[in-house]
Amino acid sequence: MSQGENQTYTARHLQVLEGLEAVRKRPGMYIGSTDGRGLMHCLWEIIDNSVDEALGGYCDRIEVILMPDGSVEVRDNGRGIPVDVEPRTGLSGVEVVFTKLHAGGKFGGGSYNASGGLHGVGASVVNALSARLDVEVDRASKTYGMSFRRGEPGVFDDADGKSPLNPFSPFESGSELKVVGKAKRGVTGSRVRYWADTSIFLKSAQFDYEQLIGRARQTSFLVPGLTLVIRDERGLPETPGADGPHEQVFFHDGGISEFTDYLAADAAVTDVWRLQGSGHFTETVPVLDEKSGHMTSQDVERECGVDIALRWGTGYETKVRSFVNIIATPKGGTHNTGFEQALMKVFKKQLEVNARKLKVGNDKVEKDDVLAGLTAVVTVRLAEPQFEGQTKEVLGTNAVRAIVAKVVEKELTAHLTSTKRDEKAQSALLLEKVVAEMKSRISARQHKETQRRKTALESSSLPGKLKDCRSTDGEKSELFIVEGDSALGTGMAARNSEYQALLPIRGKILNVQKASVGDMLKNAECASIIQVIGGGSGRSFDLDMVRYGKIILMTDADVDGAHIRTLLLTLFFRYMRPLVAAGRVYAAMPPLHRLELNASGRAKGEVIYTYSEAEMRSVVSAWEKKGRTFKQPQRYKGLGEMDADQLAETTMDPRHRTLRRVTLADAEAAEQVFDLLMGSDVAPRKDFIISSAHQLDLERIDA
């Protein structure tokens, strides 16, 4: 605090700032950090206050505007922050909310049955950490306004426009909530604009637009009927608003069912199932006794509402998002624990009942088997939930676990034992999927325990069609997956058998984007590839167990070859993704043409390989300008048309070949493309074909 500030520092200021100074000294205790995460946490606090109005049914529109001067404004059309005088403090409701820690409508006063804010510190913490905060409230046909500097109420001289650097006069004898304008009749709401204090936050801290968009989308799913508008007016380079104000609007009526569909990336095994219910519990809470002024313990009856949307897909990844009163709990808590415990209990029981039909045997199902392919949104609503810390990442209310478990057990059992035709069929597929996951896990474990690299002198349980290499060095060895037996014959003669292995596959393998895990494991070609590579599949895949340093897909340079390569890549993307992420999967680049120059004078005849029609025309044109002529170009329809020397020189010999590494810059985006091209949903693929038809190169089609 500067010397000038000390001279006007009165008892009045001491009363206002005694709590907020603690926030300024230890901001990390309240917002986690003073970098971009802490800055965003402050924004969430203000947004969540508006969302709480929406949860109560009083608000249906929230706007968030990132201003060019570094400030941010949050607007809502809720009831508006109370403007009347709070009797115990003698302050207006606005000042109480923004200057008093642990004050607000979230403490059992009847304003909110379930809210995101619960400690009553959100708005006051943001105020304490702001160089300036302005609040306007529309109530009773009037607009009320108040300004604060670092938590202290007063008046800014805004003759030249609003800024935290403007001259500031703090209130001394008493605060005043001024009427600053008129509001239309029946119009209510609040507007909060603040400038984060640069002396608290790091210089590099700034609002993350993408994170804000994600949170807005998430909230619009969780509060059906709420419109959220995010507007970026900062004009920052490399952001959507770089060329001018950028606005996105979010509105969803489908709630968490729609959210689950949005999160799910794989093809569906079940529809989205909603599990809803509630339960009551008694909680002992400290309550202020107005007569004695002391805190006394009191038993309070609470209600916990449970609403869960879930569906299983063909994949093996798990996405479970959990929320308490629409506040995300990324690190889980008692609601997650209850959800997972109930899932295990229900599936263990159903597998016991159907053990004979599903051929379960003596195998024991594990949590990962049940969670594979699950996408779920778990929400609970209750008054005054207990979190571990102000950042609200873990729910601590213990009674919630049993309530969630009871609801899930009852509702999920009803779905799995339903006699309705569709649900019965989906339940059967789901139980088969869980058993397949269990069998796959056990098989992978057994394979891992018994597997060791076989030399030419040892017996091997690997497929007979594999032509293995002699080297046992996993880093230097290469596996070529080749298309068909004709290519295998040429490849056998062209390879270096010391470190190059060949595995032939018959034509087009199974489309694993549509098939279930069980179908994939039953498919002979897929099973052979997984067995030969040696790392297992799915979530049990172990990169350290892979038998080869490079996996090279060697297919013909035609449309069918490209299709087979895509099918193989789909298999790797879905079930051996770490192998792709490690940069160990490659596509061979066999040439499309062989051009032989005629000898001319002293110039000898040369052989040139080209990899596309355009390249061939360019090469021919360039040499013809030099006066050289070619023999009739040879076009390779397949690898089998090359002789061994040609295949070795162009495609297999590391000294001359070209390999294209398959990268995994964005696994989710890649899978979405595969799903579009090869998934079970026909309509998007049809739209893609129609919209892209004009780009088709007719010369690439084999007639």
DSSP, res 161: -
Residue owning tokens 């599949």: 537
Please tell me the pTM assigned to this model: 0.67
Domains annotated on the chain, with CATH: 3-253 (3.30.565.10), 257-438 (3.30.230.10), 467-590+660-700 (3.40.50.670)
Task: Determine contact, residues 48/72, Cβ cutoff 8 Å.
Answer: no
Strand, coil or helix: what is 282? strand
Task: Write out 553-564 in H/E/C secondary structure.
Answer: EECCCCHHHHHH
Euclidean distance between CA atoms 324 and 280, whole angstroms? 16
Euclidean distance between CA atoms 402 and 338, whole angstroms? 6
The tokens for 231 are 């507007």
Q: What does the pLDDT read at residue 1?
A: 44
Spatial neighbors of 308 by CB under 8 A, at least 6 apart, are 256, 274, 275, 276, 339, 376, 377, 378, 379, 404, 407, 408, 411
Q: What does the pLDDT read at residue 290?
A: 63
Task: Determine contact, residues 590/556, Cβ cutoff 8 Å.
Answer: yes
The tokens for 264 are 């799910």
Give tens-digit pLDDT for 556-570: 777 777 778 878 888
Task: Determine contact, residues 593/670, Cβ cutoff 8 Å.
Answer: no
Backbone angles phi, psi at 302, to 5 degrees: -115, 155
Q: What does the pLDDT read at residue 551?
A: 92
Q: What does the pLDDT read at residue 285?
A: 75
Give tens-digit pLDDT for 343-401: 999 999 999 988 888 888 788 889 999 999 999 999 999 888 888 765 567 888 889 99
Q: What does the pLDDT read at residue 110?
A: 41
Q: What does the pLDDT read at residue 105?
A: 46
Residues of the chain with pLDDT under 70: 1-19, 102-121, 288-293, 389-392, 446-461, 486, 507-508, 513-518, 601-603, 665-675, 678-681, 692, 694-703
The tokens for 448 are 């891992």
Find residue 282's DSSP bridge partners: 301
Q: Residue 109 region, left (φ>0) first, then alpha (ψ -120 to 50), else beta?
A: alpha
Q: Where are the beta strands (DSSP E) in 423-499?
A: 478-483
Length of the chain: 703
Q: What percent of the chain has pLDDT over 90?
A: 30
Q: What does the pLDDT read at residue 601?
A: 64
Spatial neighbors of 443 by CB under 8 A, at least 6 apart, are 521
The CA–CA distances, whole Å, from 689 to 107, 422, 682, 685 equal 57, 31, 11, 6
Task: Determine contact, residues 21/192, Cβ cutoff 8 Å.
Answer: no
Q: What does the pLDDT read at residue 298?
A: 81
Q: Residue 151 region, left (φ>0) first, then alpha (ψ -120 to 50), else beta?
A: left
Q: Among residues 581, 605, 609, 583, which one has the least CA distance to residue 595? A: 609
Backbone angles phi, psi at 557, to 5 degrees: -85, 45
The tokens for 24 are 């300024």
